[in-house]
Amino acid sequence: MDAPALLRANADDIVEQSVDAVLGSKLTRYTASGRDVLRCRLSALLDVLARGIEAHDAAPTIARACSIAAERYADGFELQEVQCAINILEATVWQVLARELPVERFADAIRAMSSILGLAKDALARSYVELAAGHHAPAVDTAALFRGTDGV
């Protein structure tokens, strides 16, 4: 069985282990979102990752990462939380591949998975930072600081 087929065959276990680990990490926003939402999100990411490995194409996973950045930013997630959740999924995938693949196919599978997720995580971070940079805090009225306390 190749890596994408292996990921699909073990998808439920990978997602459940990842959900448990994310919730166990006490990532505030993910905990508030709930198990079912988290399960759907991780399952969708795992699916696009498996398709990317199969097609030798990181573009769909990168596009999904950019969408995730916009969605999570809009929902008030911190970048660190999102990266941590993806890292947890990656570690779980790594464990399954290490356990299930023959040694001679493991290196190629890990290289493909790590390359795709690495590019996706980079795109996610850049997208998130661009969104954050576009929303400046309100300017402080410095003139009010020098008027004193007479009007208070």
**CA distance linking residue 35 with residue 41, whole number of Å:** 10
Residue 78: what residue type? Answer: E
The answer to whether residue 3 scores a pLDDT higher than 80 is yes
The pLDDT score that the predictor gives to residue 10 is 97
Q: Across all residues in the chain, what is the average pLDDT?
A: 90
The answer to whether residue 149 scores a pLDDT higher than 80 is no
The answer to whether residue 104 scores a pLDDT higher than 60 is yes
**CA distance linking residue 122 with residue 19, whole number of Å:** 22
User: What is the average per-residue pLDDT within 67-94?
Assistant: 96
Which residue has better confidence, 137 or 41?
Answer: 41
The answer to whether residue 65 scores a pLDDT higher than 70 is yes
User: What is the average per-residue pLDDT within 72-82?
Assistant: 95
The pLDDT score that the predictor gives to residue 140 is 46
Residue whose C-alpha is closest to residue 68's, from 113, 17, 127? 127
**CA distance linking residue 4 with residue 97, whole number of Å:** 10
**CA distance linking residue 152 with residue 90, whole number of Å:** 55
